[in-house]
A and B are shown apart, each in its own frame.
Chain A
Amino acid sequence: MTHLVKKFQFFLPVLAITVLALAISCEPLSTGFDDTEPAQYYQAKNIKAVPDTFKVIKVMTWNIRFGAGRLAWFGDACGERVIFTEDEILSVLQLIAEKINKVKPDVLLLQEVDLDSKRSAYINQVQWILEHTYFNYASSGFQWKTQFIPSDGLGRIEETNSTFSRWPISNAQRIELGLRKDQDDLTRYFYERCCLMSCQINIPGVENFYAVNIHASAFATDDTRQRQIIRFQNELKRIDDLGGWFVAGGDLNMIPPGSDTMDYCLVDKCPGESFHQPGDIPMHKEGSDYEPAIHWLDTLYTRYQPAVPLDVYHRSQYKYFTHTTRGTHFWDRTLDYLFTSYHWVENSAVTYQEAKRESDHAPVSALFILPR
């Protein structure tokens, strides 16, 4: 402990100078956001023609883990790696693009898409995916935008939730979901700021059609995720009240109500960690105990149409698992969802569990009947 204090004192002047210097630079050290802000738009260099005879479109959600695939990152997989090489990231992005081109969704909700991050070799992944798939348009909202994180060698991070579409996107908004309250002020300042991305997809002949893309907090131990889900529901209600239709989905970081397993602390623990034993502080691993949140998704299931209905999920839960924290494990829980205020084609939902190398999340798709 004394050693740590000494070390911290040693770093304090260096950190203070760095923080002071960067705080007044042309770009804030860590970017905060208003409750609602316009999102960023992207467009492919070559726009591909789209037939306007669609009656049904395929919608897919996927947390692509910033193109790191199943590599052992220090932040979420007990890994030692922090910074990945350009070759490593590009080879995973290539796998992701191949999967997208094979599944062929028409609207794609991606989470953890990096723009300009040191950990992912500063590749603009939104533009890269646009140029390596058939999508024409994309819109992004920052989940994390920090010029320099003076911890663990992370450096610059720009992570987004990005929505891709064959058709033009308009009215794209980034909506703040609320910060974690279980962190100290300094950590919270540099930490991710969870958001949802809401935008209008302009399919010819379809009025007021929205896509809502969310990534809720993974590691909050307080009621942060509950507040975030309420904010998500408020946005869906706003679209309802406008007379619009939506497809909504993403990584909610919560398991479905009635799941058999709710505590993954022992599955997720890293070497040297201990949980559930007398005297363990904390008793549960951050982000691995879903029991307190087990009913936070009830309203969503009641109010809207899930791509995978609860009774279908309950019959064979393992078929719909979309996530694992270990590079060598198979999927062991469901965190990724699709909902709509209109109709899915019955039994059209697919969980692509064979996509094991691309990310620590499996993509989920469903066919949406267009409200023409």
Chain B
Amino acid sequence: MNNIKRIFLWLIGIIAFSNLYSQQPEWEKYWNQGTAYTQPKNRCELSLFNFSSYGLSDNLEISAHPLMFFLMPQVQVKAGWGEKSGVLLATEHGILYPTFFMRTVATKGIGGLISSEFSIPQMVGIYNRIIVSHSPFNNAIISAHGGITFSVNSETMDPGSSIDLPIIYPRLAVFYNQPAFDAGVDFRGKFTPVFGWLLSVENFILSGTAYNWFLQNKGVLAYTSRKEKLRIEAGYKLFYGRYPSGPQWHLLPDINLTFGIGK
């Protein structure tokens, strides 16, 4: 109990301390993935291991994953719908084409994540998400989101062709059973103008299968340059999932490097 009190007091202290030091106006607009904020027009954020995004206008941004794009093309847009009573609203709409990736790894020998006995049909996943954000303090944003994903398959997928790995399984599960739902909370802020933190919890809930719940918790510390040109994140990702083989936990490192271009 004493430990809980101590942690709570530390959190209050950190938030109070960071209130004194983080006086960066409109910092919410940058590095805002997972929030209802959209990037300023013409600003581009290029990320190595996460989505890269570009501000088409002050309330519309487009994003795609730089590394995975050529294997599993995925494009999404985020539209900001304004603020009401201190709560910012945005919606996110995306499309995912996994066929090329799955066909590539459905091979014999090394790299065969899927058995070559399975044929992979043409498939498209479409997702829509609503995001709300609120700033309870000067230096913190809390966001919540909920979404639904559908898939359109030219043929039914054989359950034996699933890739039963963390990260991959929950995201491709919609092509086997649909729809899939996701919901999560994102809490982020700044200790100082250049150092910040991010904690998030993401749930994936699948329909039509017993292997239907996946949870992802992320915690990172972030360094952001004063002119918002560079952000470095390092932390962890903790996964829990009910896979076809049974419940499993995975703890993975989370490292990301993002470059900001434009204001």
Instruction: Tell me the A residues contacting B by CB distance below 8 Å.
Output: 7-8, 10-11, 13-15, 18, 21-22, 24-27, 74, 80-85, 116, 118, 122, 148, 150-156
Contact = CB atoms under 8 A, between A and B. Distances in A.
Contacts of B248: 26-27
A115 to B, nearest CB: 10
Contact of A152 (B104, B108, B164, B246): B108
B117 A118 contact: no
A317 B71 CA distance: 56
29 contacts: A8-B111, A11-B110, A11-B111, A18-B165, A21-B252, A24-B251, A24-B252, A25-B250, A25-B251, A26-B250, A27-B250, A74-B108, A80-B117, A82-B117, A83-B117, A83-B118, A83-B160, A116-B246, A118-B244, A148-B164, A150-B111, A151-B111, A152-B109, A152-B112, A153-B112, A153-B114, A153-B116, A153-B118, A154-B112
Contacts of B104: 10
Given A25-B166, A80-B117, A83-B115, A151 B109 contact: yes
Nearest to B239: A25
A15 B109 CA distance: 13
A122 B245 contact: yes
Interface residues of B, number: 32
B244 A26 contact: no
A24 B253 contact: yes
Nearest to A13: B67
B140 interface: no
Contacts of A122: 244-246
Interface centre among B67, B166, B245 (most CB of A within 10 A): B245
Most buried by A among B114, B117, B248: B117
A325 to B, nearest CB: 19
Contacts of A25: 166, 249-252
B106 interface: yes
B113 interface: yes
Interface string B116-151: 111000000000000000000000000000000000
A148 to B, nearest CB: 6
Nearest to B159: A85
Interface of B: 67, 71, 104-106, 108-118, 160-161, 163-167, 244-246, 248-253
- Could you tell me the dominant secondary structure of chain B's interface residues? loop
A156 B110 CA distance: 15
CB-CB nearest 6 A-B residue pairs: A153-B115, A11-B111, A82-B115, A83-B160, A25-B250, A152-B112
B106 to A, nearest CB: 7
Contacts of B246: 116, 122
> Which one of B71, B110, B252 has the greatest number of beta carbons of chain A within 10 Å?
B110
Most buried by B among A13, A83, A122: A83
Contacts of A81: 115, 117
Contacts of A21: 166-167, 250, 252
A7 B160 CA distance: 24
Nearest to B49: A17
Contacts of A26: 248-251
B112 A22 contact: no
Given A18-B165, A26-B250, A81-B117, A150 B110 contact: yes
Contacts of A85: 160
B117 A15 contact: no
A41 B254 CA distance: 38
Contacts of A15: 110-111
Nearest to A115: B245
A152 B115 contact: yes
Contacts of B110: 8, 11, 15, 150-151
Given A83-B160, A116-B245, A118-B164, A150 B250 contact: no
Nearest to B163: A155
Given A150-B112, A151-B111, A152-B109, A22 B117 contact: no
A116 B247 CA distance: 12
A7 B250 contact: no
A18 B163 CA distance: 12
Contacts of A116: 245-246
A122 B162 CA distance: 13
Nearest to B114: A153
A156 B164 contact: yes
Given A24-B251, A80-B117, A118 B245 contact: yes
